[in-house]
Chain A
Amino acid sequence: MQLNSRHLLGLEGVTCEEITLFLDTAASFKKVLERPIPKVPTLRGKTVVNLFFEPSTRTRISFELAEKRLSADSVNFTSAGSSVKKGETFKDTARNIEAMKIDTVVVRHGSAGAPHYLSRCVDASIINAGDGAHEHPTQALLDMMTIRERLKSLEGLKVVIVGDIEHSRVARSNIHGLKTMGAAVGVCGPSTLLPREIEKMGVTVYPHIEDAMAEADVLNVLRIQLERQERGLFPSAREYRMLFGITRARVEAAGRPVTILHPGPINRGVEIDSDVADSEASVILEQVTNGVAVRMAVLYLLAGGRTIAEGEDHA
């Protein structure tokens, strides 16, 4: 089984077989992480650049840890205090990376399509760590890995994504990935935060959280960016919690077992209440652990050799 691309730019167009390969490989890497020495020499000699044009703590740390666990050399480039602030263009930054003979670039950028552009100007493998409101494929992969661990399979499940779908790359990657894997996907949130014609992505729209929870096996609860309130997209955090917050009362009223994910960081008492976030139904910390394993799998599978083997066996 081979991947169709040497980049991971998004989950749109990635096949069921490829996603399964990522998830199976990640499951093996998770075993490595549980060992007394959670490190393997696999990517020794490979160089990875973490190119973050947007602030990020957990995704960057998760990638960094994955790179170290695989023995790759990694360097971080964050836009704060960098050449970008001195007026360097994205393309020039890319060219500089190229000149440094980098094997893999992990890129986060505020503009949708930035990783795609980069993949056309440099020879390295590109991994999208979030581009604008477009895609965040490794987050969706770790979400799927976590769901699969808890519920055995993704096929036939009903997964509802709750919150700010409009501005969420996590939502888009999840929709593409989950649908490919045979899950039914729904979205729920204030109509100001749902993209128009989102149904065309093949998802069910739930205006009321109670209706969504009556049918969902899995809830993926997105972070509500409180900044959006200032732009008038929702009146107040308190009202958001009243209408869409995942509360114990709502979980109990739904009357069915549910698995709850959240990409973090959590606004406790806004999109989800503490007693739900810390309950048995929540797999939020499992997602963080799986994040490292998934990123190891992606780095490993994309680091493949570029020359054809001479057909010798490895005995």
Chain B
Amino acid sequence: MKIKSEIMDAAAIKRTLLRLTHEILEKNRGAENLIVVGIRTRGDVLAYRIIQHIAEIEKKEVTLGVLDITLYRDDFERLYEMPEVRDSDIPFDITGRHVILVDDVLFTGRTVRAALDALMDLGRPARIQLAVLIDRGHRELPVKADYVGKNVPTALEEQIRVELEEIDGADRVCVVQR
């Protein structure tokens, strides 16, 4: 795997997340009834940052949820070993709430499908919206994000690598050649 190009640096990621937060607040007319749920791993980190931005802008505490979608995947038959199962951490009722689902990269749409099923098993949200840092195309399911940080047209054999300070030590987004 070699890095082809860096498409976002730390400052760009920060500006983009701030813009996404403003868009979320604009569309939902504030943070009332909002909860932000990030998909493990990295979606949860982005969700946490969005919540901090909401706190700065609206002076409101919004609840964070972390979703592990492992048990809802559709590709077990194709995997050599079973992926590690980690907890979802959503210790509150999501019924009737407006859920902002956050992931780092939107690709085939299968993770989002799994996440929607996982959320539905936890309750009946009034509305779910999807926010992603990168949309790289190649959808296999009819899924569309409500908030997109950056559209990045890619070839199938390329990968998008999102690195975040909390996990990888520094913030950046790269296109990687397999």
Chain B residues with CB under 8 Å of A32's CB are 71
Interface contact B80-A28, CB-CB below 8 Å: no
Q: How far does the alpha carbon of A41 sit from the alpha carbon of B82 in the complex, in Å?
A: 14
Interface contact A304-B107, CB-CB below 8 Å: no
Most A C-beta atoms less than 10 A away, residue of B76, B87, B178: B76
Chain B residues with CB under 8 Å of A27's CB are 87
Interface contact A307-B122, CB-CB below 8 Å: no
Q: How far does the alpha carbon of A35 sit from the alpha carbon of B86 in the complex, in Å?
A: 15
Q: Which of B72, B78, B85 contacts A300 (CB 8 A)?
A: B85
Chain A residues with CB under 8 Å of B56's CB are none
Interface contact A304-B82, CB-CB below 8 Å: yes
Q: Given A301-B82, A315-B107, are A35 and B77 also a contact pair (CB < 8 Å)?
A: no
Chain B residues with CB under 8 Å of A35's CB are 121-122
- Distance (Å) between the CB of B131 and the closest chain A CB? 15
Q: How far does the alpha carbon of A34 sit from the alpha carbon of B20 in the complex, in Å?
A: 34
Interface contact A305-B80, CB-CB below 8 Å: yes
Chain A residues with CB under 8 Å of B106's CB are 315
Chain A residues with CB under 8 Å of B63's CB are none
Asked if B108 CB lies within 8 Å of chain A CBs, one says: yes
Asked if A39 CB lies within 8 Å of chain B CBs, one says: yes
Chain A residues with CB under 8 Å of B103's CB are 315
Interface contact A31-B88, CB-CB below 8 Å: yes
Total number of B residues with any Cβ neighbor in A under 8 Å: 33
Q: How many A-B contacts are there with CB distance less than 8 Å? A: 77
Residues 79-133 of B contacting A (Cβ, < 8 Å): 79-82, 84-88, 103-108, 110-111, 117, 121-123
Total number of A residues with any Cβ neighbor in B under 8 Å: 30
Q: How far does the alpha carbon of A305 sit from the alpha carbon of B87 in the complex, in Å?
A: 22
Chain B residues with CB under 8 Å of A28's CB are 68, 85-87
Chain A residues with CB under 8 Å of B87's CB are 27-28, 31
- Distance (Å) between the CB of B134 and the closest chain A CB? 9
- Distance (Å) between the CB of A292 and the closest chain B CB? 15
Chain B residues with CB under 8 Å of A307's CB are 77-78, 80
Q: Which of A3, A31, A313, A314 contacts B73 (CB 8 A)?
A: A314
Closest A residue to B110 using CB positions = A314
Query: CB within 8 Å of B: which residues of A?
Result: 1-3, 25, 27-29, 31-32, 35-37, 39-42, 297, 300-301, 303-305, 307-311, 313-315
Query: CB within 8 Å of A: which residues of B?
Result: 68, 71-73, 75-82, 84-88, 103-108, 110-111, 117, 121-123, 136, 159-160, 178
Q: Return 5 A-B CB contacts under 8 Å, by A number.
A: A28-B85, A36-B123, A304-B79, A305-B78, A310-B78
